[in-house]
Amino acid sequence: MFSHILCALLCMLQDLPVVRSMWDEWWTYDGISGPSRWGSYNTEWELCDKGRFQSPIDINPASIVFDPNLQSLNITNEKIDGVVMNTGHDIRVSLNKSHGHRINITGGPLSYKYSVFQIKLHLGTADDKGSEHKVAGKSFPAEIQLLAYNSELYANVTHAKKSPYGIAVVAVLAVLKDLGNQHFSALVRAAGKLNSKGLSTDLYKFSLSEILPTTMTYMTYEGSLTQPGCQETVTWVILNRPMYISSYQLEKLRELTRGNGIGDPLMENNFRPVQPDNRRLVRTNIPIKEEPDCTIKKTTSYIVNDKLKPS
């Protein structure tokens, strides 16, 4: 009886605009509001449960297909100004709108021009986890994602997220090395000031090109956003070389909390578990010649089945 009343009350509250926005933030990476429950909390998040094109996925190197039509990716080489924020779910940099459209992504598997609007960091509590995507069942200690929206077709991010070919995400997997990427330290230092949820700080002249590995090879597939509402409008581009991150940089990020500061739960393991690939194709432009230091080392080549060959 009581639970019915409580439910009715909650459902009623959910319809109020103010409470609704609070409700929108009420999801986590563990416990009763964790990834396996996202789809049942909000009808707008149904795809988190029901979608067949969900991300992240575990990339199986043996089933990647080499696609000679894939062009190289073109990312504008400009420094960015933005606001770094601890959202309680992640650390993200939102590019200032007034400086919008400064970083465009074209080429690669993309048929439209995409403009970067956000950079997100995903990490874990230990070095053997943290990335959202896996390669051959293996996780990486962190994943940096550049989120961009289709600025040729859509006026804003909200609209693009719900629309065909709306979003492109360029993901970089991080690998531990004694000397981490020095340019990444600027972001780590900024994040270091944000020990509790809701805090934000400005970041000036952050160089994306200095943190991205110099590679033209990548893997690509069609998937979704990895946070609610899991919209299936994302073309993923996973660069084939990692970024280097030091233990010190990683530790600094792991110290951040998703509450009100010291003593509150740490912002840890903020990655969504891998989702079924449902026979989706992962394409690559990684040439047959092996590159040193890449996340994927080998590709299969296309072999004609003898039985099907015209005689």
Does residue 101 interact with ligand NAG by CB under 6 A?
yes
- 218 noted as active-site residue: no
* Contact letters for ligand NAG, residues 247-276 (x by CB under 6 A): ------------------------------
Amino acid 157 reads: V
Task: Mark the segment that binds ligand NAG (CB under 6 A) among 4-12, 22-30, 68-76, 163-171.
Answer: 68-76
196 is an interface residue for ligand NAG by CB under 6 A: no
Applying CB under 6 A, which part among 22-30, 97-105, 166-174, 231-239 lies near ligand NAG?
A: 97-105
Q: Smaller CB distance to ligand NAG: residue 28 or 163?
A: 163
Residue 308, CA distances (Å) to 300, 305, 311 in order: 19, 5, 9
Q: What are phi and psi of 74, to 5 degrees?
A: -120, 110
SS3 content of the chain, % helix, strand, coil (to 5): 25, 25, 50
Please tell me the distance from the alpha carbon of residue 308 to that of residue 311, in angstroms, as a whole number: 9
What is the token pair recorded at 45? Answer: 């998040």
Report residue 270 as tokens.
């903020």
Catalytic residue among 114, 154, 221, 244: 154
Cβ nearer to ligand NAG, comparing 110 with 142: 110
> CA 111 → CA 66, 73, 74, 108, distances in Å?
19, 11, 12, 8
Q: Which of 42, 73, 51 is nearest to 213 (CA)?
A: 73
Binders in 147-176 for ligand NAG, by CB under 6 A: 151, 155-156, 158-159
Rounded CA gap, 56 and 133, in Å?
5
Rounded to an integer, what distance in angstroms lies between the CA atom of residue 308 and that of residue 177?
48
Q: Which is nearer to ligand NAG, 48 or 203 (CB)?
A: 203
What is the Cβ-side half-sphere exposure of residue 181, based on CA atoms within 13 angstroms?
A: 24
Check residue 20 for interaction with ligand NAG (CB under 6 A): no
Q: How far is the CB of 99 from ligand NAG (least distance, A)?
A: 7
Q: Quick one: 61 or 192, whose CB is closer to ligand NAG?
A: 192
Interaction between residue 113 and ligand NAG (CB under 6 A): yes
| Contact flag: residue 96 with ligand NAG (CB under 6 A) | yes
Nearer to ligand NAG, 135 or 212 (CB): 212
Please give the residue ranges that form the binding site for ligand NAG (CB under 6 A). Answer: 72, 74, 76, 81-83, 96, 101-102, 104, 106-107, 113, 115, 151, 155-156, 158-159, 202-204
Catalytic residues: 154
